[in-house]
Amino acid sequence: MKKLVFLLLIAAALCMAQAPAYQSFYYQECAGNVIDVGYYGAPCIADWNGDGNKDMVLGVFTSGNIRFYANENTNDSPVFNSFTNIKADGTAITLPSG
Ligand SMILES: [Ca+2]
């Protein structure tokens, strides 16, 4: 009986599953220029400063720095005009590559 209930739950979950929806690719800009960190850029999008708009933290492989881009617009149409390297005790955080 437990197996039947389990199988019914899985069947119901599969019936309710939806295919993921993807958006087209685009280059993110900062102050009108495409953000280019070379290779292995590692972005993470979240509301980092608590103002309700999603910002971007971007790991830069070549320098090891971690950049913070504050979103100055909306979540649907983010605008980044500058970045700062994230610091700890006044020193930019750098992570070794490799
Ligand atoms: Ca924010």
CA of 25 to the centre of ligand 1 (A): 22
Q: Residue 4: is its pLDDT beyond 90? A: no
Residue 98 pLDDT: 63
CA of 68 to the centre of ligand 1 (A): 10
What are the residue boundaries of the structural domains of the chain, listed by start? 29-98
CA of 85 to the centre of ligand 1 (A): 16
Q: In whole angstroms, how far apart are CA 24 and each of 27, 28, 38, 53, 63?
A: 10, 12, 21, 21, 29
What is this structure's pTM? 0.74
CA of 10 to the centre of ligand 1 (A): 38
CA of 94 to the centre of ligand 1 (A): 23
Residue 11 pLDDT: 77
What φ, ψ does residue 23 adopt, rounded to 5°? -105, 165
CA of 67 to the centre of ligand 1 (A): 14
pLDDT band at 88 (very low <50, low <70, confident <90, very high): very high
The sign of the dihedral angle between the CA atoms of 85, 57, 39, 26 is negative
pLDDT band at 80 (very low <50, low <70, confident <90, very high): very high
